[in-house]
A and B are shown apart, each in its own frame.
Chain A
Amino acid sequence: MAQLTRSKSEHPSYALGWHTIPLKGRSQQAFFTVEDEGENFVYPYAIDVDFNKRIEFDAANLEAPAINLKIRELMEQGYGWIVVKNPLAKHSLGVGILNRLKLDFEGSLGYFGVGVIDGPNIRIKGRVGWSCAENMMSGTVVIEKNAGSCFGAAIRGGDLVCKGDVGARTGIDQKGGSIIVGGRTGAFSGFMMQRGRMVVCGDAGKNLGDSMYDGTIYVGGSIQSLGVDAIEAELTQLDIDWLTRKLALFDIEAKCGIRNMKKVVAGKQLWSYDNLEPAEKKLVL
């Protein structure tokens, strides 16, 4: 077994437990120390807000950095429910929010909207561009209309919901949480998925679940084609119960009926599923 040794060089990321632990043979990133991990973890700069305090502001004439600073400023004043009017598809709005907050966007967002969040409940009454909620850790994000490609790229937790159609590469590198799509999804969805669940009530494009390591994808409509090492599996009662609960929670209907949904999982035939390096795997094969 690989030996864990802590790096000698001190770095601010130690404060958050975001430090690299070199492993013998390979290296990997340790995101939290064991003692930090848990329900009570709070970011050093997280803001305590009051959900009974609501405020609106108009973002039509503000640039993206100013909008994000305004949200932070309002959170610091204790507002727990912030409504942003006229976001006009600007990029990178609502990013980096690391505490509980109720945040509504009355309109569409551009690229990288609500990325790197941990905790807020966000509703977007429009469309979102590419890479919405990238690296989301927890909370909920609900989009009322359509979404662009790379929807929920690398999310680690929380519920990310789009009631309309989404583009290509949905849930690429998904590491946890749930992605729920009311309509169809494009090509290469679930590419290199590692954990978590993805639900697509409509059709799925080609190469679904390509090179997925783990996790589960449910599809209500047709699947154009499965990707490398993605296979269909039997839908169990546990799956049905989970799907029923989640879809009801977000008021989404699977037109085909939940019991008729297809379940896609990793076939686990790729080299990644044992401790062998690629060259060693070749020898074994």
Chain B
Amino acid sequence: MCGIAGIIHRGAKANVGGEMTSMLKALKHRGPDSTGFAVYGVPQSGELVLRFKVAEQDDLKKGFEIHGAIERRRATVDERIRGMGGEIIEADAVTEYAFRYRIRFTGDMRKFADFIEDVEGAEILSLGSSLELIKDLGDANTVSNQYSLGKFQGSHAIGHTRMATESDVDIRSAHPYWAYPFHDISVVHNGQLTNYWNGRRDLERRGHRFVSNCDSELIAVYVADKLQRGVALEETLARSIRELDGVFTYLVATADSLGMAKDTMAAKPMVLFESDDIVALASEEVAIRSVLPHEIDTYDPYDEEVKVWRS
């Protein structure tokens, strides 16, 4: 089933971490397997935020060796960042296996990402000037508390509660997906894609990499591919309705935008509230009500509808 949510403040910053936690908490019944956040904070000049993990949460239950392995993997990642000419400004161990680094790097982003992900167990969750992508097993409160998201200030956020139907229950298969190797682009999805393997083969032939077997990752890579080729976000979303097959509603966020697309059958839910100051949308209105409890006018976008809002 899965639940997705998005919120964007127009021309202002707010506690989007806390808001998204409330929205995803309200959608908990739609997916208890994992929860993910893509929050967009205030960019610092010349800096990137790198979120990565070097093990799965589940790996910690598989013996004592993993603790040493995690330390060695992290040291290798540090070494490789510096080896590629990057500078680590600040390094936080958010959990034993997941890290948040503030770095400086101006080289080839794809090579940089590939070199880090070449380390055993390493996966970049996000890399960008304002995007921070957090995902883990558990409900919204658990993940939000674990990663201290409750007071995160920013302009917009998207989030996901996952009911695993197409792939494993692990962080790798959890949403959101970062649109590797592009800064600040993330995707959450509710639905099933039926042309996943065909689409994946096409994109892999063009040099894109996949880290999971989750069909939702295809959307992130699809969006990355289109943006890489200079297609505007609105046009990318419109084309996806024709080129991705299946039943889906998905949200995509960039450094300054939030977009949504709904399939040709309108088979997956989405409720939307728009005002001059704020746009909030979610699989269920109850999520919007968790941050806007006063009486508001909401509606369902129609089939094949695409929308993009700027912060």
Where the two chains meet, the residues of A that have a C-beta atom closer than 8 Å to any C-beta of B are 60, 88-91, 107-108, 110-111, 126-127, 129-130, 145-146, 148-149, 164-169, 186-188, 205-206
Contact = CB atoms under 8 A, between A and B. Distances in A.
Nearest to A128: B285
What are the 10 closest A-B residue pairs judged by CB atoms, nearest first?
A168-B266, A89-B285, A167-B300, A146-B299, A187-B303, A89-B286, A89-B289, A88-B289, A148-B300, A186-B302
Given A89-B284, A148-B271, A168 B302 contact: yes
Contacts of A167: 266, 300, 302
A211 to B, nearest CB: 15
A136 B26 CA distance: 28
29 contacts: A60-B293, A88-B286, A88-B289, A89-B284, A89-B285, A89-B286, A89-B288, A90-B286, A91-B284, A108-B285, A108-B289, A108-B295, A108-B298, A111-B284, A127-B297, A127-B298, A129-B271, A129-B285, A145-B298, A148-B300, A149-B269, A164-B299, A167-B302, A168-B300, A168-B302, A186-B302, A187-B302, A187-B303, A205-B303
Nearest to A88: B289
Nearest to B264: A187
Contacts of B288: 89
**Residue of B285, B288, B303 with most partner-chain A CB within 10 A:** B285
Contact-residue bracket for chain B: 10 to 19
B60 interface: no
Most chain B CB within a 10 A radius of its CB, from A107, A130, A168: A168
A71 B153 CA distance: 41
Contacts, number: 70
Interface string B134-164: 0000000000000000000000000000000
B302 A205 contact: yes
Given A89-B289, A127-B298, A130-B269, A206 B284 contact: no
Residue among A89, A108, A186 with max Cβ neighbours from chain B (10 Å): A89
Interface string B281-311: 0001110110001010111101100000000
Contacts of A108: 285, 289, 295, 298
Contacts of A164: 299
A145 B271 CA distance: 13
Nearest to A91: B286
B266 A187 contact: yes
B66 interface: no
Contacts of A88: 286, 289, 293
Contact of A146 (B269, B284, B297, B303): B297
Interface in B267-285: 267, 269, 271, 284-285
Nearest to A89: B285
Given A169-B266, A188-B265, 13 more contacts: A88-B289, A88-B293, A107-B295, A126-B295, A129-B285, A130-B269, A146-B298, A149-B269, A165-B299, A167-B300, A168-B302, A186-B266, A186-B302
For A110, A169, A205, the residue with the greatest tally of chain B CB atoms inside 10 Å of its CB is: A110
B260 to A, nearest CB: 15
Contacts of A111: 284
A205 B262 CA distance: 14
Contacts of A127: 285, 297-299
